[in-house]
Amino acid sequence: MFLLRHGQSYFNLHFTPTRIDPGIEDPELTDLGLAQAHAAAGRLAEVPLTRIIISPYMRALQTAEPILKFQRAPVDIMHEVRERAAFACDVGSPPKLLAARFPHHDFRHLPSPWWSKPVETFEATMLRADQFRALMAARDDAKTTLLVSHWAFILALTGKSLSNGDILEYDPMSDKPKHIDWES
């Protein structure tokens, strides 16, 4: 399968150089983030995707938009692939607001709130990643599935730290990571 970390968000823009939470809830993509999303769409344009799974955060939904122009695969919005709740950016938007902003997606299945409260433990993030890995390993279409997700979730799933807009090919049948560097 293919894992894509969302493009640069306004949270990333301010947090990355300072490591101080700027207090931006459910941030949108910056101009660079939008460019990263378009670049990812270009890299995936010829990949025959059969399924696209997207986290319900604005930054992930916006990252997926250019990809959906090239791909006609069914889309699943899954809160289980969300970011680890640790900062203001990890407070999401209610399903009704998401539905108004992205009317071509279905958000009715999301609980409200669908994000974690309070801070999620590393163990809880690992458990979500383990459950997703098992779910994908059982699917016949895992090789042709794209996941648009977040740094900590992808790290918990693979043991690899992706930068904004990075794409990683991943086999959900592989072993789970033995060590996670949560500080990377």
Q: Name the residue ranges covered by the structural domains of the chain.
A: 2-169
pLDDT tens profile 50-101: 999 999 999 999 999 999 998 989 999 999 999 999 999 999 999 999 999 9
Nearby residues of 48 by Cβ (< 8 Å), 6 or more positions away = 144
CATH T-level fold of 2-169: Rossmann fold (3.40.50)
* Chain segment 143-156, per-residue pLDDT in tens: 999 999 999 999 99
CA distance 34 to 15: 18
Q: Mean pLDDT, to the nearest integer, of 7-11?
A: 98
**Do residues 54 and 74 touch, judged by C-beta distance below 8 A?**
no
Q: Which residue has the higher pLDDT, 176 or 67?
A: 67
- Per DSSP, the residues of 120-183 read PPHHHHHHHHHHHHHHHHT-TTGGGEEEEE-HHHHHHHHS--PPTT-EEE--TTSPPPS---TT
What percentage of the chain exceeds 70 in pLDDT? 99
pLDDT above 90 (res 179) = no
Select from 40, 3, 4, 50 the least CA-distant residue to 170: 3
